[in-house]
Structures are given as structure tokens and as C-alpha cells.
Amino acid sequence: MKNYSFEDQLKGIKSCLDLINLNEFQGRLDASVSLLVSTLSRDKPVLVCGNGGSAADSQHIAGELVGKFLKERRALNVRSLSVDTSVITAWANDVSYDTVFARQVEAYGEPDAVLWAISTSGNSKNVVLAAKKAKELGMHVIALTGESGGELGLWADVLLAVPSSITPRVQEMHLMVYHHICEQVESQF
């Protein structure tokens, strides 16, 4: 495996940025912000899930929106499904890890709420099953993925697929995307 320099990593990020169709992607960002603002304005929940680095991202998003991103405002009804280790481990041990997020969507979701599902491949089974459960409940799904969108993209109302299949580049792009979304959502509260 080749050892990449920091300069190589920066070039990788730049190549991802160069591949984004800005008009199309901006439209998807705007649709995500509109959906989130509409949902949170009605105090409906926004549930966020992902595995590994995407689990950390889900917690980061919840922290920014429950707490604050850049300004003082009221708390927003956002919950990361990656944080309750008792629920996750009990369900995974007794039933299946594949459905740990779907089970929480069933518990906390409601019609016209939002599931924000994060998967670099778009094929994480537990994230895809959470999206399916969300759709069954009449929820909207925002999917934040890598370039293909994977199976998760099939369940999304809004697909934010960044143009890379290299996990670190996807995760770096995800950070920029959700920071932008958090800032735009917060500006409307």
C-alpha cells in the first residue's frame, strides 16, 4: 500500500471538489436544509445514524444542532442513534446488529420526521434497514454517502452523494457538507 503525503491528500480533496456539479449539489443541499428546517420548526425529530466514522459524524451533527453551531438559539430536536450503548448492545446481542438503528427509528420516529442516514458506501445494512423503517413510518430520508449512493440512495428523498469511493475522502467531504447544512439550518432559528 502506498504511503500518501499530506499534499497527496489535499490533491485528493481538491479532485473531489472539482468533480462536484455545484448547481446540482447546491440544489440537494438546499432541499436538505428546507426539509430539516420544516421538520424542526414543527418540533418533529431528526434522527441521525451511521457506523464508525459516520457514527461519530451523527453525534457531531446532533451536538451542533441540539447545542449550537455558531449562534445562540433554542435547542433543536436532533438525536444520534449511535450513542445509547445499552440499547445498541442489548438489541444486537438479543436480536441482530443489522436492525439496531431500525429498532430505534421505530421507537423515536414519527410521520413527517427525518432520518439523516450516513454511510460512505451507501450499503451499510443497518443504515439501509433504518431508512426502510423510516419510509414505512412516513418519514423523510436524507442520505449522505459516497459517489454511488449505494442501496441507501434508493430510499432517500434527498441524496447527498460526494464524488469519491475512497473512505477518508468521503468522510472529509461529509464534514464540509454537514457543517454547511448545520450553519444554514441554524440561521433559520
Domain count across the chain:
1
Q: What percent of the chain has pLDDT over 70?
A: 99
**What stretches in the chain show pLDDT beneath 50?**
none
Does 127 map to a domain?
Answer: yes
pLDDT of residue 129: 98
Count Cβ atoms below 10 Å from residue 174 Cβ, excluding itself.
23
Does 78 map to a domain?
Answer: yes
Does 5 map to a domain?
Answer: no
Structural domain range at position 158: 26-186
Does 136 map to a domain?
Answer: yes
The CATH number of the domain holding residue 152 is 3.40.50.10490
Nearest-10 crossing angle of helices 167-186, 53-62 = 10
Does 159 map to a domain?
Answer: yes
Q: Taking the mean position of all CA atoms in its chain, how far away is CA 114? A: 10
Predicted TM-score of the model (pTM)? 0.95
